[in-house]
């Protein structure tokens, strides 16, 4: 009996190892569940607050770059605003109450408080949450193009699955020149390179073509830049093309992003659901 | 005893914060990243009971996970590291065994011993970590390459921190 006890004691650490390892792997597997909010941590307010403190310090080191990015965005906006255009002929007409356009997208600015590119599934934490009207599934863009979409929201923070999230992210795109449609995915490892897939075989892609969002999902407006084709490759087995694409957003220095509210998303989704259920 | 606990607690907090807030942003070449927080498990005193090392390993990993948003991944790697630690220590023990009260540190155990210890520990932790990540996304050869490069960087940084501690001790 005593020997048995001594033996159990001697090997008890192996048992403990197996138990702890099982718990860890169990947590890891549970986390794969997309809707498991309980363990989604980076958006939790504790770590979010820590990240906030850090970026309060580190933001000073990149003020110049941030300013250039923001000034660039401003210049782009100004050159697109109403004031930049002149009405060519109808000098005697006046706009009074313009009901010709209705607003479809609303943009909200947010600051990046945490960002990763070294994992296989990279997330970005931003400092806006439910309190600011952020909801899951909203698209996020940066000054140079597409960034990702919101996956989890807490009161003051939100987690964005970036383009560099192998598991969660894909977006339907098209080439700006010829409107060939396709899907963009990240394959891991090089944070500057994504892959354009599911392009029809007859499409004529060229290095240098710009890839933009197609707006099909309703997450992003049309024509948001995604990247530029670096190299076109033939997939031997199927008659589909794929191409290596350089991302237009540099995920290494991302300071401010814009969250997109699609005001007609509900309508689009309801209609599509009704059509599917028929 | 009490002093040891305080010392290790402070080390724990400092290393986790350093890892979570600073080192997770290194991303050399996009994906080479050092995980220096394993130093906490490495520097626990020789006499620490195995179950304490295992439990601390789990807590350390979970804390690191909290920052990267991968609950369970670092925890599984550090539990593995805590498990193999006693075997590694036995494997590379000096002939007369470990002196009571010494700690597995560079200044106490010497350069060669610590280099061995540090390399084996870091490589086993990083391989496990990157393999677990790859098992979920199937890219094994790349994972091994990644773990090798990251291990190199981690070992360099650990030596840097150890020398830093050395200098401070000598001056006082």
Q: pLDDT tens digit string along B135-162?
A: 655 667 778 888 888 999 999 999 988 8
Q: Within 10 A of B149 (CB to CB), how many other CB atoms are there?
A: 17
Tell me the chain B residues in contact with residue A32 when contact means C-beta distances shorter than 8 Å. 136
Q: Is A28 on the interface with B (CB under 8 A)?
A: yes
The answer on pLDDT for B172 being more than 80 is no
Nearest-CA residue of chain B relative to A13? B51
Q: Is A19 on the interface with B (CB under 8 A)?
A: no
Distance (Å, whole) CA A217 – CA A184:
13
The per-residue pLDDT for A71 is: 75
Question: Higher-confidence residue: A19 or B26?
Answer: A19
Q: How many independent structural domains does chain B possess?
A: 1
CA distance A161 to chain B (A): 11
Q: How many independent structural domains does chain A possess?
A: 1
Distance (Å, whole) CA A182 – CA A171:
9
The per-residue pLDDT for A12 is: 83
pLDDT, tens digit, 9 for 90 and up, residues B64-118: 888 877 788 899 999 999 999 989 998 888 888 887 777 888 888 888 899 999 9
For residue B56, what is the domain's CATH number? Answer: 1.10.1760
Residue A94 lies in a domain: no
Residue A115 lies in a domain: yes
Containing H/E element for A274?
helix A265-277
Domain extent, residue B48, equals: 2-171
**Ranges of residues in chain A whose predicted pLDDT is under 50:** 34-39, 41-42
Contact A41 B69 (CB under 8 A): yes
Q: What percent of chain B has pLDDT over 70?
A: 90
Residue A274 lies in a domain: no
The answer on pLDDT for B167 being more than 60 is no
Distance (Å, whole) CA B73 – CA A28:
6
User: Alpha carbon of A271 to those of A91, A102, A275: distances in Å?
Assistant: 42, 19, 6
The per-residue pLDDT for A34 is: 43
Domain extent, residue A240, equals: 41-77+103-262
For residue A194, what is the domain's CATH number? Answer: 2.40.10.340
Cα A203 vs. chain centroid, distance in angstroms?
A: 27
Residue A127 lies in a domain: yes
Residue A97 lies in a domain: no
User: Alpha carbon of B33 to those of A25, A51, A90, A175, B117: distances in Å?
Assistant: 22, 19, 62, 35, 20
Please report the ipTM that was assigned to this predicted complex. 0.82
Q: For the whole model, what pTM was predicted?
A: 0.63
With b for 16 or more beta-carbon neighbours within 10 A and e for fewer, the A239-269 pattern comes to eebbbbbebbbebeebbebbbbbbeebeeee
Nearest by Cα to A205 from A240, A164, A247:
A240
The per-residue pLDDT for B147 is: 87
Residue A93 lies in a domain: no
């Amino acid at each position: 009996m005593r020997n048995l006890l001594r033996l159990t004691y001697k090997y008890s650490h192996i048992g403990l190892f197996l138990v702890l390892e099982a718990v860890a792997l169990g947590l890891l597997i549970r986390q794969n569940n997309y809707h498991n909010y309980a363990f989604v941590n980076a958006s939790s307010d504790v770590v979010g607050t820590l990240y906030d403190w850090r970026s309060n310090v580190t933001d000073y080191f990149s003020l110049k770059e941030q300013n250039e990015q923001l000034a660039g965005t401003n210049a782009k906006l100004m050159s697109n605003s109403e004031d930049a255009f002149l009405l060519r002929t109808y000098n005697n007409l006046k706009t009074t109450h313009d009901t010709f356009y209705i607003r479809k997208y609303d943009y909200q600015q947010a600051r990046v408080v945490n960002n990763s590119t070294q994992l296989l599934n990279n997330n970005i934490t931003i400092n806006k949450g439910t309190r600011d009207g952020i909801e899951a599934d909203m698209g996020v863009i940066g000054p140079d193009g597409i960034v990702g979409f919101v996956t989890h929201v807490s009161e003051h923070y939100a987690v964005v699955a970036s383009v560099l999230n192998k598991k969660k992210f894909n977006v339907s795109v098209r080439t700006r020149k010829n409107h060939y449609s396709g899907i963009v995915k990240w394959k891991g490892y090089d944070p500057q390179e994504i892959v354009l897939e599911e392009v029809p075989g007859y499409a004529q892609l060229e290095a240098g073509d710009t890839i933009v969002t197609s707006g099909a999902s309703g997450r992003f407006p049309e024509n948001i830049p995604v990247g530029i084709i670096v190299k076109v490759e033939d997939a031997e087995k199927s008659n589909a093309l794929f191409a290596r694409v350089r991302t237009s957003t540099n995920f290494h220095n991302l300071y401010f992003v814009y969250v997109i509210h699609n005001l007609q998303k509900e309508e689009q989704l309801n209609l599509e659901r009704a059509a599917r259920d028929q | 005893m009490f002093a040891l606990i305080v010392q290790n607690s402070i080390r724990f907090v400092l290393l986790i914060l350093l890892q979570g807030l600073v080192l997770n942003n290194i991303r050399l070449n996009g994906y080479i990243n050092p995980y220096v927080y394993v130093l906490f498990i490495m520097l626990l005193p020789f006499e620490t009971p195995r179950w304490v090392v295992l439990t601390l390993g789990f807590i350390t990993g979970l804390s690191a996970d909290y920052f990267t948003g991968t609950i369970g991944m670092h925890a599984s790697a550090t539990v593995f590291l805590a498990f193999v630690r006693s075997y590694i220590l036995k494997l590379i023990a000096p002939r007369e065994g470990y002196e009571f009260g010494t700690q597995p540190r560079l200044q106490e155990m010497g350069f060669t011993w610590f280099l061995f210890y540090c390399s084996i520990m870091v490589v086993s932790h990083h391989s496990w970590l990157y393999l677990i990540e790859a098992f979920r996304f199937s890219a094994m050869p790349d994972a091994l390459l990644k773990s090798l490069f990251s291990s190199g960087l981690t070992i360099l940084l650990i030596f840097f921190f150890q020398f830093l501690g050395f200098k401070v001790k000598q001056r006082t």
